[in-house]
């Protein structure tokens, strides 16, 4: 059974015209107002998300920069403490501390020293100067090994630059250890 639409429209025209007009008005409002607002809202949401991501990136960058600054401050403080507490303030104190410590270690490990020489190296504008020490020690392998371990693991700022070990001329002669060591001290203001 087919509905006669024309007859229904003719009989219910008074009701149908406002319904069709309302439907047309809804379509016009959707196309003219609602859809453009939805598009703008979508763009605004995308910009808001981009802004949120930019804010998160900026906060990460700020945190990283603050960490770098704090690390630099800690490093500066540690360097100041190193210069103040570890490095001798001048060559005389560096020489005294180094020679005393090396002599004590040599005696403690039953080593005899046959010679010692020093040379000072200072760079223009450098904050530290270097004192290079060369020395020869005689003794058994075990005593030499313990001496080297003590120098390397000690709290003094003594660096072993080179080690040369040689056997004595006679079969039972002790070993000879030729060492080159370095220590550093604060440079005088104004350079060398």
Q: Which CATH superfamily is domain 91-186 in?
A: Ribosomal protein S6/Translation elongation factor EF1B (3.30.70.60)
What pTM value is reported for the model? 0.58
Which tokens go with 114? 């046959």
- Please count the other Cβ atoms lying within 10 Å of the Cβ belonging to residue 99: 14
pLDDT band of residue 89 (cuts 50, 70, 90) is confident
Q: pLDDT by residue (tens digit) across 145-172?
A: 999 999 998 888 888 999 998 886 666 6
Q: What is the pLDDT of residue 146?
A: 94
Note the pLDDT tens digit of each residue in 120-130: 888 777 788 88
> Domain coordinates of the chain in residue numbers?
1-86, 91-186
Comparison of pLDDT for 133 and 10, the residue scoring more? 133
Would you state the pLDDT for residue 47? Answer: 86
Q: How confident is the model at residue 192 (pLDDT cuts 50, 70, 90)?
A: very low
HSE at residue 15, side-chain half, CA atoms within 13 A, is 5
For residue range 93-120, list pLDDT tens digits in order: 888 888 888 989 999 999 988 888 888 8
């Amino acid at each position: 059974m087919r509905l006669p639409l024309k007859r229904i429209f003719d009989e219910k025209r008074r009701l149908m015209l406002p319904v069709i007009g309302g439907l047309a008005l809804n379509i016009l409002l959707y196309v003219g107002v609602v859809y453009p607002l939805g598009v703008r809202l979508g763009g605004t949401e995308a910009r808001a998300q981009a802004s949120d991501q930019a804010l998160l990136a900026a906060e990460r960058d700020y945190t990283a920069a603050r960490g770098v600054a704090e690390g630099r401050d800690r490093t500066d403080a540690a360097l100041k403490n190193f210069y103040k507490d570890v490095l001798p303030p001048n060559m005389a104190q560096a020489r005294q501390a180094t020679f005393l410590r090396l002599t004590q270690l040599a005696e403690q490990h039953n080593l005899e020293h046959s010679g010692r020489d020093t040379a000072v190296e200072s760079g223009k504008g450098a904050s530290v100067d270097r004192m290079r020490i060369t020395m020869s020690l005689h003794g058994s392998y075990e005593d030499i090994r313990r001496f080297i371990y003590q120098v390397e693991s000690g709290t003094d700022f003594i660096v072993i630059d080179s080690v040369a070990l040689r056997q004595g001329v006679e079969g039972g002669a002790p070993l000879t250890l030729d060492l080159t060591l370095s220590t550093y001290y604060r440079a005088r203001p104004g350079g060398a």
